[in-house]
Amino acid sequence: MANEKATKGIYQLNNGNWAYRFVLTTEGKRKEYKRSKDENGNPFKTEKQAARAREQAIREAHVKQLLPVAKTIEKKTVGEVFKEYCEVGRKGKAYTTKRKQDSLWSNYLLDRFGDKYIDEITVAEVNDYLAELYIDFNFSYRYVEGFLKQFYLIFGQAYSRNYMDADTYNKLCVLKNTKITMPPMKSTDNKEIEVFTKEEFEIMDKYFKGKPVETAYMIGKYTGLRVSECYGLTWDKIDFEKGVITVEQQMQRQDGIVKLLPLKTKNAKRKVYMCSALQNYLLDLREKVNKFEIYFEKQREQNEIFIYDINGDMISSLMLVNTLPNGKIQTEYAIKHHSRPLKEKNQVEFNFHKLRHTYGTNLALMNTPEHILLKQMGHSKCQTTHKYYLAVSEEGVQELKKNLECM
């Protein structure tokens, strides 16, 4: 080796030609690069030639470090990927989630996308379809969001199995400026939290009084439980001494069979505190149940069925809080039938989930700390809980405007 020159990484050989060297560190390991000839085998005759070659070599080496090793993409249709996702990608998912995914696929996505190669699907194609569902089909915004989630799941399955390259996946699901998105929300759909008024509650209190679904109504009104959680409630989950209901199961139908299943998310499992109105109602109901066991003994024996609980054990339907006095089991469909008469006779737009929204909004109105409300409602995301406070803020703005008029 001859003299090292002033130019960094360039040196002259004993034979008068020039060479370069540099070091790169990859994953903690140093690697030295040396060269005295170009790609055609010609020696560097001048210092300038060696310097230019060194700069080019450094750029190429950095690019190789950043780029992943290219993989051969296996061609798969959207239908093939969804089938694979159902077999291996959704283990542990709740039964209701699987049922909804299957419904969206068989009723809508299969015909439109089933035979298309998944790596050829474009962002525009998916966005146009979502807009079509929302605007032309007039599906609810929340329902169309289910399609968006399903596309993300299918594309994620494709990318993880090497049926889609990184660039395509990033455009569809990652990059903020290009990824598939929901169409703009209609102004009529912008109100996300709907609640019952005091007057509507007075009407419903009278309407449900003495009806077989009164217990479900009371639980929904005073705890905000989801309808499946309400009908899955058993007496052993109510602690009257502490005034607490333990929510850890839900009633679902699987292939026509009523079962008690685990909740969809970890956060949904919770303890809900009872107010005195509900506690007194349930205490009175429990006393009535003790009498039912005597007065309706034969009927209860005839109507008793055994259902699977969350542990896979068989339990009596008589353990359910919403079981009728004669022992007949009730499901969520019992209370859903009351939406029409309430609307036709009393002009009340009733759905059980609106009881939950009202309960959450009332807690927000009482300045319940957000982290407490999140636990009480069983939300998995704080953004969901925050909507109740936004609804309260809007109500506060309206009250402010009203007060300003009085000044």
Q: What is the SS3 assignment for 146?
A: helix
Residue with tokens 């509650």: 201
Residue 278's contacts (CB-CB under 8 Å, 6 or more residues apart) are 218, 219, 221, 222, 223
CA 392 to chain centre: 24
| 389 has pLDDT over 90 | no
The pLDDT value given to residue 350: 95
Among the listed residues 284, 285, 288, 282, the one whose alpha carbon sits nearest the alpha carbon of residue 244: 282
> Under a CB-based contact definition with an 8 Å cutoff, are residues 115 and 77 in contact?
yes
In the structure encoding, which two tokens stand for residue 240, read together?
């009257």
Residue boundaries of the structural domains of the chain: 10-66, 78-182, 198-356
Write the Ramachandran bin of 243: left for phi over 0, alpha for psi from -120 to 50, otherwise beta.
Answer: left
- Please report which helix (H) or strand (E) contains residue 259, including its range: strand 257-262
pLDDT at residue 71 in the model: 61
pLDDT of the residue at 190:
62
Residue 125 pLDDT > 90? yes
Least confident of 56-65, 138-147, 315-324, 353-362: 56-65
pLDDT at 67 over 80: no
What does the block give as tokens for 114? Answer: 């089933």
**Smallest Cα–Cα separation from 372: which of 389, 396, 392, 394?**
389
Helix, strand, coil content of the chain in percent (nearest 5): 55, 15, 35
For domain 198-356, give its CATH number from 1.10.443.10, 3.90.76.10, 1.10.760.10, 3.20.20.140.
Answer: 1.10.443.10
Q: Cα(332)–Cα(43) distance, rounded to whole angstroms?
A: 84
pLDDT at position 250: 94
